[in-house]
Amino acid sequence: MQPEVVQIGPYVVSKIVFEAFALLTSVVIGGLITYLTTRTIENRKWAEHKRDKRQEQRREALAQALEWIPPIHIALTKAQLKVSRFHKKEISRNELIRQWPNLLSELAKKDLPMRLSVLLPRTVNQRVDQILEQLQNLQSFALHSSDTVKPNKDEWIATFNVFVDRNSALQENLNALRRELTSEYERTFE
pLDDT in tens, 43-63: 999 999 999 999 999 999 999
Nearest-10 Cα torsion for 87, 92, 97, 98: -130
pTM: 0.68
Indicate if 182 and 88 belong to the same structural domain. Answer: yes
Each residue of 75-127: pLDDT tens digit? 888 888 888 788 777 888 888 888 888 877 777 788 888 888 889 998 988 88
Indicate if 43 and 71 belong to the same structural domain. Answer: no
Tell how far CA 183 is from the center of its chain. Answer: 10
What is the tally of structural domains in the chain? 2
The residue segments making up the domain with residue 183 are 55-187
